[in-house]
Structure 1
Amino acid sequence: MGGDRKDTAPGAAGGASAAAGAAARPEAIRNVVLVGHAGAGKTTLVEALALTTGAVNRAGRVEDGTAVSDHDEIEQRQQRSVQLSLVPVEWEGVRINVLDTPGYADFVGELRAGLRAADAALFVVSAAQDGEGIGGATRMVWEECAAVGMPRAVVITHLESARAGFEETAAQCAAELGGDDPDAVLPLYLPLHGPAGPDGHAPVTGLAGLLTGTLYDYSSGERTESRPGPDLAPRIAEARNRLIEGIIAESEDETLMDRYLGGEEIDVRTLITDLERAVARGSFHPVLAAAPAAEGARQGLGTVELLELVTRGFPTPLERRPPKVTAPDGSPRPDLTCDPDGPLAAEVVKTASDPYVGRISLVRVFSGTLRPDETVHVSGHGMEDRGHEDHDVDERVGALTSPFGRQQRPVPSAGAGDLVCVAKLSRAETGDTLSGKDFPLLMAPWQMPDPLLPVAIEAHSKADEDKLSLGLSRLVAEDPTMRLEQNPDTGQVVLWCLGEAHADVALERLRTRYGVQVDAVPHRVPLRETFGQAAAARGRHVKQSGGHGQFAICEIEVEPLPVGSGIEFVDKVVGGAVPRQFIPSVEKGVRAQAARGVALGFPVVDIRVTLSDGKAHSVDSSDAAFQTAGALALREAAADCPIHLLEPVDEVGVLVPDAYVGPVMSDLSGRRGRVLGTEPAGAGRSVVRAEVPEIEIGRYAVDLRSLSHGTGRFSRHYARHEPMPAQVAARLRREEEAEAHSR
């Protein structure tokens, strides 16, 4: 780092094979996750790094002709990344596991998996933003990394764009990501521009190293070094002075600042050492520039400098503390260290399916060494609310491989600090812990976003219906950000997703991977019905046919109760008009009819049903007859009484930057919500508390993202059922009747 020597990329064979060779020691591993909004250039940057390290040839191909950027068919159709991918490369004897994450907000679960598996983060920011800024979602991830002390650096891309402005973008990064300390986010290099073309745009052809004052020219396709001329000296000096002050401010040598302010020229090696330490600590965040290689070139602009930063400045797995562990029953276990000879502790950070290999698990090894064909213990927290079972079983590990594009290269083992793909773990799911069968462990889970967009689905045909259950179980096993629900009130199968794109990918995977065609149908909110006033009715079930007939008559009175009271059944029969053995039958029939509804098919609640009289026959009366009579009586009572609809109301908490509090409150009020108040949540954010009818927030996960420009989050919890306004209930009745006629 710092550009004080000349580097060349290893040959293609060395760069490709070494990354998938024998197990590396933790000190020779770097795990780096790429973060940035969609279109920032993360995948292009990965391809450029692979080319510079020799992992691919100049055509971007590995030995078998496939590309490192080969995506699955869903990504190819949608023209965007939808899943976490691992690309291991090697530079100067260091294995770099590059984790490329989707930039679209619907796939934040893949991003969080990447953050869990990595020890440092590269934030990729486009220089061609048209004034859109860093992006609220990117800022939020930056703050999350800061909260756990994860080292971060910024890579500015799209320098080839005519609208690109490196200095302006770097200043914006310092202002928006630096927070109270913008001097902790500073460039290490400045782009150099070549002659302007016919359109007036001057392309970036090289970089100026601010610490060493060396120029790196990429215009020939190979990085060459030179010294700057006098025309560049003022520009370099100003940026260099600010960089040196920023590094010295983070130095552990308290005398360095006084010496610098006293006019002493600080040795470049000292500055580079302090810079590397500050980066590894997570207290200084260098800004670099990168661009893909020109056609026929062997190195992309800035890729060598970026690789130097990763190998020298980013921490090894030894410098990052593994997650806390317990025994599967919750009893304490000693803290882990990143020791290849220690107890095995690994975690499944991603689960995928291959049509030929089957299930493939991407695993981060935090302690010990994972070997193929050994038996490990699988422990999982379980997320029953999301369709994930709890795990506490032994399972045999299949082959270990290192992915590269569509290739899976066999590896003999994976030691502490490394990432590896494991085949045929049939029980392990994303988030599960793999440990020694004689010393089982369970890791503390990472934060998963709550899926809050409901998508109701139905099998397209009878053949699809037979395969639906298995397909859905496999789908949610791969994606812990998805929740599967069989709603007991509406009978619908509901996939809870993070957004519309997340839902589209889920349904596409059902179709292409598991051969299940489903149709999305309108999501039904579980409403309730109740009586608007007291009513009385007779239920008469009298039938005579050959043999025993059916005879049962009961008279009931119905009165409404306060919300939340449920159903009460009272027996006031006198004189044995209804024999004692049949009174429970009447109650059973009433409750069964209440569960089926009396108006629109929603369950009836909050009523008291009093059985006052009835008649029986010594031969023809039966349990079934009085159940039928009880049900008929409740329907008859409802026929002459206004039936009110009750709708579920949720407690909603919306976390947004303070600038969006007003619009969020107005939007919630427009959804018939009652805003209860706001409370500060730190760092310029507030939580808006409200109670909102559930029927009004079915698409709130999508609408809030648009309203807050991707910076808002919300939670929802059922509070109670409340009477639905008459005009809303009338509209719903019309919709239900129209749907019934269409069927």
Structure 2
Amino acid sequence: MKDLSLYRNIGIFAHVDAGKTTTTERILKLTGKIHKIGEVHEGAATTDFMEQEQERGITIQSAATTCYWKNHQLNIIDTPGHVDFTIEVYRSLKVLDGGIGVFCGSGGVEPQSETNWRYANDSKVARIIYVNKLDRLGADYYRVIQQVEKVLGAKPLVMVLPLGVEEQFAGVIDLLTRKAWVWDDSGEPENYQIQEVPSDMVDEVEKYREALIETAVEQDDELMEKYLEGEELAIEDIKRCVRKGTRNLDFFPTYCGSSFKNKGVQLVLDAVIDYLPNPTEVNPQPEMDLEGNPTGGVAYVDPEKPLRALAFKIMDDRFGALTFIRLYSGKLHKGDTILNTATGKTDRVGRMVEMHANSREEIDSAQAGDIVAIVGMKNIQTGHSLSDTKNVASLEPMIFPDPVISVAIKPKQKGGNEKMGVAISKMVQEDPSFRVETDQESGEVIIKGMGELHLDIKVDILRRTYGVDVEVGKPQVAYRESITKRIEDSYTHKKQSGGSGQFGKIDYVMEPGEAGTGFQFESKVSGGTVPREFWPAVEKGFETSIVRGMLAGYPCVDLKVTLTDGSFHPVDSSAIAFELAAKAGYRQTFPKAGPQILEPIMKVDVFTPDDYMGDVIGDLNRRRGMIKSQDSNTVGVRIKADAPLSEMFGYIGDLRTMTSGRGQFSMEFSHYAPCPSNVAEEVIKEAKERQAAS
């Protein structure tokens, strides 16, 4: 039996380009997992093993790997930083016990770091902060610490101070031990010396050390008293307090270094072991019954309890489908039969493997706290729970965002539809934020995703991995429709043609709902004018109708229908008659209720050097962008704006042209808002043309 206190399940997350994958490479080298360091910019990093990742120098899918440091087993997940792939971060954080938030020393708290931090807060994951790239021009550790406080609303607990900055960066000072770790310029992580603190930094070290201890001892009243009485505290006692506060998310131990130059990573690894929780120290997952209601039970991280596991990622590779699972309780052996609580079907565990990026080691068993992959499971999707067949319970499911962009695709080769269908169904299983549907009218296959890059990569994977060349249509925006007025209306459905007739009369109010409420239905009928057994039929009639708005055929959102009265016939009334009355009522009332088109508005975050700021803001205004804030720092300006998705296609090319290739941006979905009338007219016209063409 394994000692769970020696386990750490951690994720590394950050904004694109802050150095997550490089940091992971350094950790693997230091822990002896790899012997030669692969660089991201050369396309040789261990965890970036997809061709698309190597070419673009970005991480697309989270990669899992296992390594050992000071007798502790670290299961590490390197997650993507690009906004289009945040789903990978979200689902990784869901199954991790701790994380390392990496921030760029010069870029600071960038847009994607904010989103990831928010996800980590939602999942209540303990974190340590690592400020990377301190050797970069414009790097400023203290500025990043201020940004963490101001932008993220978090409390960084400074554990080390940098020795020199930019090209003078030589190492770090450990505040607890009051020792300086100084690396030479060989670039080898092992080539360091532990020295005394330089005399010109002694006062600063004492100032920060005092702040560290004052914050830490708030976790323990006895130590607080000793400290206030002037006693020198043992380092082990201080560490115990830091560990407790980190677990409670009261503060985040903060480190710095340069992963690329191999300076400072050892202290981050030590912090993972000293301060991040082991699997038994994390709040256990609540259990649900098969209907999704909380049972009041929890999945304690204990190998002796019944099996509870969550499938958090599915990956297809040359050996077959791999299902990554996190075991919360119980044990799992090769040959066991387990229940998928989402489908109600059982599956036999064939082969189990421990992953190291895209290579693997076969294992015979796993236990609570482990992250492993099972080969060849059927009918399983991300977010499904796996349970003991005799003692059944489910875990909290994952919630995935709706796509905001879609394109139509068709295979270039004749007869390529079947091959494309098989490939796409595998891709949908792997990525829950990637959806596919067939347009009922035109018969086109439409793929939907979180952004242009997301769909671009999917088309690339179709071509390279599955050998399906496709033609890609123009990107389509996921518009919505809604109403603006409250209308009281009535509809009678009557049909008499031999035999029993159909009759159903409904009086109802159709009105706009609160933003984000979707469809709501309420019945205020009294006195049995519409019998209670017909209410669900009325609700179903309206609910199935709103998937197509009357303006351009986009789904209708935030609509409330209240059934107020009506009448029925003792013989001719039926559920179907009332359902048909509701469907016709929707068609009758929707056009009167001030219908409008809503468009997705994106939160846009642009970074540009000072010289180009005017051009960038002017261009955002032309794209109907609303500028929210401008923040200047030594390396440039960060502009936050809200802009409609329809105006942002191809923006990266335009931004690069405007800023001589130096601008960067990221965007994520924010909310839906009404379109200006000229845009709405264009959307309706295009929808009518599409209908006519099909």
Is the 1:27–1:316 contact (alpha carbons within 8 Å) kept by the matching residues of 2? yes
Cα distance in 2 for residues equivalent to 1:464 and 1:97: 40
SS in structure 1 of the partner of residue 465 of structure 2: helix
Is the 1:33–1:101 contact (alpha carbons within 8 Å) kept by the matching residues of 2? yes
SS in structure 2 of the partner of residue 231 of structure 1: helix
Is the 1:365–1:418 contact (alpha carbons within 8 Å) kept by the matching residues of 2? yes
Pick aligned residue for 1:187 from 151, 158, 170? 158
Partner of 1:534: none
Cα distance in 2 for residues equivalent to 1:414 and 1:407: 18
Pick aligned residue for 1:313 from 259, 262, 275? 275
Pick aligned residue for 2:118 from 121, 140, 143? 143
Cα distance in 2 for residues equivalent to 1:651 and 1:153: 41
Partner of 1:463: 415
Partner of 1:55: 33
Pick aligned residue for 1:435 from 360, 384, 387? 387
Pairing of 1:717-728 with structure 2 (within 5 A): 728=682
Per-residue CA deviations over 1:434-484 (Å, capped at 9, x if unaligned) read 222233332211232221111221222322123222222111111111122
- Report how far residue 145 of structure 1 moved: 2.7
Establish whether residue 177 from structure 1 lines up as the match of residue 146 from structure 2. no
Larger RCO, structures 1/2 (Cα 8 Å, 6+ apart): 1
Partner of 1:444: 396
- Report how far residue 650 of structure 1 moved: 4.5
- Report how far residue 710 of structure 1 moved: 4.8
Is the 1:177–1:185 contact (alpha carbons within 8 Å) kept by the matching residues of 2? no
Change (3 A) 1:322 1:360: same
Pick aligned residue for 1:349 from 312, 316, 328? 312
Partner of 2:208: 239
Partner of 2:534: none
Partner of 2:172: 207
Q: Which amino acid aligns with 1:119?
A: D
Partner of 1:598: none
- Report how far residue 147 of structure 1 moved: 4.3
Is the 1:290–1:303 contact (alpha carbons within 8 Å) kept by the matching residues of 2? yes
Change (3 A) 1:475 1:291: same
Partner of 1:406: 358
Cα distance in 2 for residues equivalent to 1:31 and 1:371: 21
Q: Which amino acid aligns with 1:106?
A: D
Name the TM-score, length of structure 1 as normaliser. 0.65
Cα distance in 2 for residues equivalent to 1:349 and 1:726: 39
- Report how far residue 263 of structure 1 moved: 4.0
Residue ranges of structure 1 left out of the alignment (5+ in a row): 1-22, 195-200, 295-299, 381-390, 528-561, 572-578, 581-601, 604-643, 674-686
Is the 2:407–2:476 contact (alpha carbons within 8 Å) kept by the matching residues of 1? no
Name the TM-score, length of structure 2 as normaliser. 0.70
Partner of 1:274: 241
Is the 1:128–1:164 contact (alpha carbons within 8 Å) kept by the matching residues of 2? yes
Per-residue CA deviations over 1:263-305 (Å, capped at 9, x if unaligned) read 44333332222112211222121111132375xxxxx322221
Cα distance in 1 for residues equivalent to 2:299 and 2:133: 41
Pick aligned residue for 1:366 from 303, 328, 331? 328
Partner of 1:714: 670
Cα distance in 1 for residues equivalent to 2:79 and 2:347: 29
Per-residue CA deviations over 1:227-276 (Å, capped at 9, x if unaligned) read 2243331221222222222223x3221x5445545544333332222112
Per-residue CA deviations over 1:682-711 (Å, capped at 9, x if unaligned) read xxxxx99xxx9xxx865679989x999657
Establish whether residue 94 from structure 1 lines up as the match of residue 72 from structure 2. yes
Change (3 A) 1:81 1:168: same
Cα distance in 2 for residues equivalent to 1:261 and 1:276: 21
Establish whether residue 338 from structure 1 lines up as the match of residue 338 from structure 2. no
- Report how far residue 166 of structure 1 moved: 2.3
Change (3 A) 1:172 1:429: same
Pick aligned residue for 2:23 from 45, 63, 70? 45
Change (3 A) 1:570 1:319: closer
SS in structure 2 of the partner of residue 82 of structure 1: coil
- Report how far residue 570 of structure 1 moved: 11
- Report how far residue 126 of structure 1 moved: 0.8
Partner of 2:542: none
Establish whether residue 84 from structure 1 lines up as the match of residue 62 from structure 2. yes
Pairing of 1:395-544 with structure 2 (within 5 A): 395-522=347-474
Residue ranges of structure 2 left out of the alignment (5+ in a row): 480-486, 499-551, 554-590, 607-615, 627-640, 656-662
Change (3 A) 1:149 1:725: closer
SS in structure 1 of the partner of residue 204 of structure 2: helix
Change (3 A) 1:702 1:31: farther
- Report how far residue 203 of structure 1 moved: 3.2
SS in structure 2 of the partner of residue 310 of structure 1: helix
Tell me which structure has the larger Cα radius of gyration. 1
Pick aligned residue for 2:143 from 155, 168, 175? 168
Change (3 A) 1:702 1:138: farther
Pick aligned residue for 1:290 from 235, 243, 257? 257
- Report how far residue 134 of structure 1 moved: 0.4
Change (3 A) 1:491 1:671: farther
Change (3 A) 1:88 1:566: farther
Identity of aligned residues (%): 24
Residue-pair matches, total: 554
SS in structure 1 of the partner of residue 113 of structure 2: helix
Per-residue CA deviations over 1:182-221 (Å, capped at 9, x if unaligned) read xx31321112249xxxxxx643222211122122223273
Change (3 A) 1:526 1:311: closer
Cα distance in 2 for residues equivalent to 1:372 and 1:479: 26
Is the 1:344–1:435 contact (alpha carbons within 8 Å) kept by the matching residues of 2? yes
Is the 2:11–2:92 contact (alpha carbons within 8 Å) kept by the matching residues of 1? yes
Is the 1:159–1:290 contact (alpha carbons within 8 Å) kept by the matching residues of 2? yes
Partner of 2:573: none
Cα distance in 1 for residues equivalent to 2:52 and 2:232: 56
Cα distance in 1 for residues equivalent to 2:378 and 2:307: 19
SS in structure 1 of the partner of residue 443 of structure 2: coil
Cα distance in 1 for residues equivalent to 2:62 and 2:9: 14
Is the 2:324–2:373 contact (alpha carbons within 8 Å) kept by the matching residues of 1? yes
Partner of 1:158: 133
Q: Which amino acid aligns with 1:86?
A: A
Pairing of 1:600-679 with structure 2 (within 5 A): 649-651=596-598
- Report how far residue 658 of structure 1 moved: 14
Change (3 A) 1:566 1:488: farther
Is the 2:605–2:667 contact (alpha carbons within 8 Å) kept by the matching residues of 1? no
The Cα RMSD (Å) is: 4.5
Is the 2:406–2:478 contact (alpha carbons within 8 Å) kept by the matching residues of 1? no
Per-residue CA deviations over 1:567-622 (Å, capped at 9, x if unaligned) read 99999xxxxxxx99xxxxxxxxxxxxxxxxxxxxx99xxxxxxxxxxxxxxxxxxx
